[in-house]
Amino acid sequence: TKIPSFKLENTIEVPQLGLGVFLVEDEQELTQSVLAAIKHGYRHIDTAAIYHNEALVGEALQTSGIPRSELFLTSKVWNDAITYEDTIAAFETTLKKLKTDYLDLYLIHWPSEGYLEKWRALEALYEEGKIRAIGVSNFEINHLEQLMQEAKIKPMINQVETNPYFQQTELHDYLVKQGIQHEAWGPLGQGKGNVLEDNVIQELAEKYQKTPAQIILRWHLDRQVIAIPKSIHETRIQENREIFDFHLSKEDLVKMASIDKNQRGGADPTDDAWLV
Ligand code: NAD
C-alpha cells in the first residue's frame, strides 16, 4: 500500500512518513539506506545542506529509477547563508547536488541571523515555481509570530524536535490553529533518552502486536504529525513503514499524552549562542 499524505495549506501533499538521513555520510550506508527505503515504498527523503550528503542522495535516487515526480524531496538552508543572495546561491547548490531542478520542500534550518531575509528568498523561489512548499525548522512561537508579521507567504511546515518525551504540546496546538503542518525530527528520540523502552510504549507494543518504534511512529501520524525516522538498516526501514494497518485508540492516545516529560534531547532554538 502507498504511504498516505497530509495536505498542506497550499494543497501540496506530503507523504506522512519519510526517511531521514542526518549523520549518514558514508557513501555505502547512505546508498543502501535510500535504496532500501525506496524498495519499501518510501518516496519522501529529508536531507539538508549541513548533512553533507545531498550529492549521495541525488545519486541514489537516480540509481533507483523512480521518476522525479513521484518523489518528495526536502532540504534545508544552513545558518551560514545569511543574506538573500546567500540563500539563493545555497538553494542552487542544493539543486545541483540533488540532481534536480526543483524541491518539494525547502526549510530554513534554524531561526538564526537573517532569517527574515532568508524567508524573502524562499518566497521568491516559491513564486518562481522552484519549490513546491516552503517552511521553517526549529522555530518557536515567537519566531513564527515575527516571521508572519513580515512575510508575504506563511510557512507551510515547521519541522521541530518531537517525540513522546518531548511532545511540543503548546507549539503543536499553535501550529494546528495557524494551519502550519507539524513535522517531527528525531521522531524516535534519536536513540537517546530511552523512549523506546518506556513502559507505556512497551505495553502498547504488546497490545497492538507492534514494536515500540512502530507505536511511536503511529502516535505521530495519529496526531497528524509527519515523521521522518532515520535508519540505515533495511529491517528497521521496513519495520518503520509497517504502521499503516492500525491506529492507536483514543484512550491510548491519552495514555501517550501522559508520558510527556517536556524534555528536549537536542539543541535549543532559544539558545542564541548555538545559532551563531
Ligand atoms: P530518529 O529519532 O529518527 O532516530 C534515529 C535512530 O533511531 C537510529 O539511528 C536508530 O538508532 C534508531 N532506530 C531507527 N529505527 C528504529 C527501530 N525500528 N527500532 C529501534 N531503533 C530504531 O533521529 P534523527 O535521525 O535525529 O531524526 C530523524 C531525521 O530528522 C534526521 O535523519 C533528519 O533528517 C531530521 N532532523 C532534522 C533536524 C533539524 O534541525 N531540522 C535535526 C535532527 C534531525
Per residue, what are the HEC states of 184-221?
EECCCHHHCCCHHHCHHHHHHHHHHCCCHHHHHHHHHH
Ligand 1 geometric centre to CA of 127 (Å) = 32
181: three-class secondary structure by DSSP: strand
Does residue 192 register a pLDDT over 60? yes
Q: If you measure from the C-alpha of residue 22 to the centroid of ligand 1, how many angstroms do you get, rounded to a whole number?
A: 7
- Find the 191 Cα to ligand 1 centroid distance in Å: 7
Return the ligand 1 atom nearest residue 47 CA: 34
Closest residue CA from atom 26 of ligand 1: 186
Q: What 8-state DSSP symbol labels residue 180?
A: P
Instruction: Provide mean pLDDT across the span 110-117.
Output: 96
Please give the distance, rounded to the nearest whole angstrom, from the Cα atom of residue 227 to the centre of ligand 1: 9
- pLDDT of 19 over the 80 cut: yes
Active site residues: 51
Could you tell which of 22, 136, 232 is best to mutate to test the pocket of ligand 1, judged by most ligand atoms within 8 Å of the CB? 22
Ligand 1 atom nearest residue 137's Cα: 41
From 4, 10, 36, 85, select the one nearest 230 (Cα to Cα): 36
- Mean pLDDT over 96-115 rounds to 97
Per-residue pLDDT for 272 more than 70? no
Taking the C-alpha atoms of residue 27 and residue 146, their distance in angstroms, rounded to an integer, is 40
Distance (angstroms) between ligand 1 centre and the Cα of 69 equals 25
Atom 41 of ligand 1: nearest residue by CA position: 137
Residues with CB under 6 A from ligand 1: 20-22, 46, 109, 137-138, 159, 185-191, 196, 213, 228-231, 236, 239-240
Of 74, 66, 80, 72, the residue nearest 44 (C-alpha): 72
As given in the structure block, the three cell numbers for residue 70 are 513521484
Cα gap 87→175, rounded to integer Å? 25
The overall average pLDDT reported for the chain is 96
The CA distance from 131 to 52, in Å, is: 21
pLDDT tier at 193 (50, 70, 90 boundaries)? confident
ipTM: 0.99
- Who contacts 177 (Cβ-Cβ below 8 Å, separation ≥6)? none
Contacts of 80 (CB under 8 A, 6+ apart): 86
Report which secondary-structure segment, H or E, holds 237. Answer: helix 234-241
The enclosing H or E element of 94 equals helix 84-98
Query: Could you read off the pLDDT of 117-176 as tens digits, one per residue?
Result: 999 999 999 999 999 999 999 999 999 999 999 999 999 999 999 999 999 999 999 999
- CATH top-level class for 13-264? alpha beta
Which of 147, 85, 88 is closest to 112 using CA atoms? 147
Residue nearest to atom 44 of ligand 1 (CA): 185
Cα(98) to centroid(ligand 1), Å: 21
According to the model, what pLDDT value does residue 273 have?
55
Q: Would you say residue 274 has pLDDT above 60?
A: no
Q: How confident is the model at residue 267 (pLDDT cuts 50, 70, 90)?
A: confident
Q: How confident is the model at residue 276 (pLDDT cuts 50, 70, 90)?
A: very low
Q: Whose CA is nearest to atom 18 of ligand 1?
A: 236
Ligand 1 pocket: which of 72, 185, 195 to mutate (most atoms within 8 A of CB): 185
pLDDT digits (tens, 9 = 90+) for 223-255: 999 999 999 999 999 999 999 999 999 999 999
Concatenating the DSSP letter of every residue in 144-178 gives HHHHHHH-SS--SEEEEE-BTTB--HHHHHHHHHH
49 to each of 24, 42, 53, 72, how far by Cα in Å?
13, 21, 8, 16
pLDDT tens digits, 42-56? 999 999 999 999 999
Neighbouring-strand partners of residue 137: 159
> By alpha-carbon position, which residue is closest to atom 30 of ligand 1?
185
CB 61 within 8 A of CB 72: no
Nearest CA to ligand 1 atom 36: 185
Our separate counts of H helices and E strands in the chain read 11, 10
Q: Which atom of ligand 1 is nearest to the CA of 107?
A: 41
